[in-house]
Every structure is written in C-alpha cells, then in structure tokens.
Amino acid sequence: MDFSRIYDSIPYILEGIPVMFQVVIVSALIGISLGIVVATLKIVPNRLINFIGHAYTAVFRGTPLILQLAIIHFGLPQLTGYITTPYQSAVIAFSLNSGAYISEIIRAGIQAVDKGQWEASDALGVPYVKQLRSIILPQAFKNILPALVNEMITLTKESALVSTVGVLDIMRRAQIVGGQKAIYFEPLLFAGVIYFTIVMILTYLGQRLEKRLRKSDGR
C-alpha cells in the first residue's frame, strides 16, 4: 500500500462528505414525513386504506434499494419522458425506501402508546387527526427516537449506492481517484475509514440520546 499516491486527492474525496449528508438529511426528513402518513394509513379503521399503506411498505421493503434507485433514474424516464438528475433520483429513491421502514417504526410507536390516551381523547370529543397530531405522535416519537437514529445510520451507510447513478459522494470520488491513478485499494480504503468514522459518531450520539431518554423516564 502506498497512500502517498493519493495525498493530493484526499481533499477531493473529502468534498463528498457534504454531498453525502445532503442526500441523507433531505431523504430522512422526507422519509419521516412520508412515514407518518403511511403509518397513519395502516392504523385507520378502513381496510382499503390499510391495504394501501401495507402494500407500499411491502414493495419498498421487499425489493433492493439499488433496484429502486435504478428504476427511478434509468427506468422512469422511459415511461414519463422526464429525466431526473442523479441527485434528484437519489433523494426520491432513498426517501421512498426510508419512508417504508420509518412507517413501521412509527406504527409500532403509535401502537405502544397507552390505549387510555385514545379513550380519553375520544371521551373529550377530540377529532381523530388532532388526536394523532397533538396527543399520540408526540408520545410515540419519544419512544422511537433511538430507532429513528438507527435508521439514519443505516441510511448513511446505504448512501454509498448513489455513486451508481453518478452522484459525487465519497464513494464516487474515491472511484474516480482510483481510475485516474490506476490504484483502487488506497482510495477505497480511505473512503471506508470516512464512512466508519461518521457511523461511529452517529452511533455514539444515538447511544447518548437513548441514555438521556431513559433518565428522563426515570429508568
């Protein structure tokens, strides 16, 4: 191994970090919003709406993320005639995929809330949507925050897949450097160190958050 050959390319690879976080953060925010909607579809007292919510989750959890990304970036233009940029395709695919997983997390969190909360809200005549928004979801989010952090960590690792459609993230830049210098092990290993460091930091922050939540609950 000779890392001296990629010293001049290290700043170029590091420039992929903001790109990666941009994809991850935007996708996570959209995924959470979508997850709330889909989780709601799964618990409303309507079988057709329930089916729609569960079908969406089944499709996006039951197929590979890289396949979803490829269909959105390469396949949809054939059907719609509209060509998305690599960044747009990445955000759409990651948001839809993350929304499916987050919807299950939120659904479990909602169902873990004491049924007495629902009954008290019904007794007071609070509309269903307002019950969810003002009473149930705030309590559920407190319980599912650690799981959401774990989803963020997973999203960070999976973000390397965006390199397959040309997004200039860490992985793609490492591949470019490898091609330019005809050496792949060193730049890819350096990219791996970056991902590992970021994931360890997020894991540490997630553990700290979980401990604080346990203290606030008196556990």
Domains annotated for the chain, with CATH where assigned, are 3-216 (1.10.3720.10)
> What's the pLDDT at 124?
75
Global pTM value = 0.86
Positive or negative, the CA dihedral 103, 108, 109, 115 is positive
Largest separation between any pair of C-alpha atoms in the chain: 71
> What's the pLDDT at 119?
72
pLDDT tens string 39-82: 989 988 889 999 999 999 999 999 999 999 999 999 988 888 88
| pLDDT confidence band for 10 (50 / 70 / 90) | very high
Measured between alpha carbons, how far is 71 from 145 in angstroms, rounded to an integer? Answer: 31
Measured between alpha carbons, how far is 142 from 145 in angstroms, rounded to an integer? Answer: 6
Measured between alpha carbons, how far is 1 from 61 in angstroms, rounded to an integer? Answer: 39
| pLDDT confidence band for 144 (50 / 70 / 90) | confident
